[in-house]
Amino acid sequence: MPRILLPALAAVAGALQFLSYEPTGWWFAAWAGLALFFFALLRTPTWRMSLLVGFAWGTSTALFSLPWIGSFVGYFPYVALSVVLGLLSMPASWAIWRVGHSNLPMGLRLPGMAALLVAGEALLQRWPFGGFPWLRVAWGQVDGPLAPAVALGGTAAVSFLTALVAVGLVALAGKKLLAGISLMACALVAGSALPLLQPVPEASADAQTRVAVIQGNVPRLGLGFNAQRRAVLQNHADATAELAEQVRDGKAEQPDVVVWPENSSDVSPFTDSQAARIIDEAAVNIGAPIVVGTFTYDNGTQNTMVIWDPKQGPTDRHEKIYLQPFGETMPFRDLLRHVSAMVDRAGNMTPGDGNAVVTTSPKATGGTSSSADAQTTGALTSGASPLKTVKLGLATCYEVVFDGAYRNAVDHGATMLATPTNNATFGFTDMTYQQLAMSRMRAMEFQRSTLVAATSGVSAIIDAHGDVVKQSEIFERKVLTATLPQYEHKTIAARFGLWIEVAIVAFGIVCLVGAFLRHQPRVCRIRKQSEVIH
């Protein structure tokens, strides 16, 4: 095969990877794409060419998957990010090439290639600038047969199993039928059968909790910056008032907790008395705690989700821990200011350091109220039962891509999860659908009911199986309500997910070391053009 075709094959592989992501959601496209990528590396004769193949694959995946970034920052930063992600794909590509061309037994060589793909993802989850794991293979498998394995081994396990299927396909193409069938069968059994070891438990009646997600929507045109922010806040308050009226009329059930999106109150109620009054009235009207997205300034500027109780006001809160580089923070600001004036549009926020769990206080909110009280305290009517305590694990917007965000929350007792997000800037692009798939995967991973609250869509309520119970459309005002259970158990992934990722990466590194310790790689051996696997 002409060498020039190898990077082209890798670019096609990146396009197939993109097709596995939502909203297209062709999970099988990732199998074919990774198989094509591995095939190209196995055909690559030199280590230098392996770097080019990896660059073409990483850049292509990003260019197809991330054009929504350009809708905010423009064409140049989007292309630059894609190129950087291509460069960051090169080390894993080289390592996969080295193991693929080694004299290791096939039973180590092929799984080792798959493990090194996960090693590349593990690196990109943490470095540089805190990492950018938006393009992990696992996100494209949310509706595929391998997804249930996320409850056993986290997203790293799903990526590994997908890569195992891919190397199995390559083995089949090389007429290594036994190896190919064995690898694919192992992956599919692990994805579909082994999760039976970790079923979602039966929820008790006491665990059933009424939740409400508010998508207030944003005004699109005709307002200045400050007016726009106040209009967004008012939209969410008005939508909550509509729900409260339905509760009072007996057309809807009283919620135990209401979740607003990230930046639903861009005007901070901690510095603006009018914003505080609007939120307070909304909480009193609905008679339940509202989780509000705003900003706090106790430790610099922090992106904060705060519980606003109808009687106590602001109580528990979560300051966003995983900040978006070049958005909420700006590395090399002074240097890059000479490149683009848009640098100063990025924030200078301070990360939080909490446990990502906020807890409602039903004793202060619910309880028995007189009919007179019901007129002033909202939707609760005479004889109403106390609201249920909700321990809500929060991953604000970008945080959902990081394994440690919800894992930290579940470790600290979260019984439900929520992904409040502000995606109005990205319009009708794929961003919101990609992020929804991530929340669905997290719901499966930790077996928790999960709420996605977006300013402009798509908002959703997701059950512990990762199925969407209700969802909104983009740019519509929508109130989503459902009764879902709270869970206290921990999945295997919640307990050992990090160590399972470490084990997969360690296996790949051992194979890489073994490739160096064995005899000279077989790159220079004369092979038939039809031979794929040595």
Which residues are designated catalytic?
262, 320, 397
CA quadruple 350, 84, 132, 121: dihedral, nearest 10: -150
User: Most distant CA pair in the chain: distance in Å?
Assistant: 90
Structure tokens at 442: 């997290």
The span from the first CA to the last CA of the chain, in angstroms, equals 16
Give the CA distances from residue 330 to residues 295, 337, 436, in Å, rounded to whole numbers and listed in that order.
Answer: 18, 10, 26
| Cα–Cα distance measured from residue 47 to residue 515, given in angstroms and rounded to the nearest whole number | 14
- DSSP secondary structure string for all residues of 44-112: --SHHHHHHHHHHHHHHHHHHH-HHHHHHH-HHHHHHHHHHHHHHHHHHHHHHHHHHTS-S-HHHHHHH
User: Can you name the residues that pair with 471 across neighbouring β-strands?
Assistant: 460
CA atoms within a 13 Å half-sphere pointing along the CA-CB vector of 313: 7
Is the backbone peptide bond immediately before 458 cis, with ω within 30 degrees of 0? yes
Sign (positive or negative) of CA dihedral 284, 286, 291, 294:
negative
Give the CA distances from residue 154 to residues 133, 495, 498, in Å, rounded to whole numbers and listed in that order.
Answer: 14, 10, 8
Q: Where are the beta strands (DSSP E) in 137-199?
A: none
CB 464 within 8 A of CB 485: yes
CA atoms within a 13 Å half-sphere pointing along the CA-CB vector of 137: 36
* CA nearest neighbour of 459 among 426, 418, 398: 418
* CA nearest neighbour of 307 among 296, 321, 298: 296
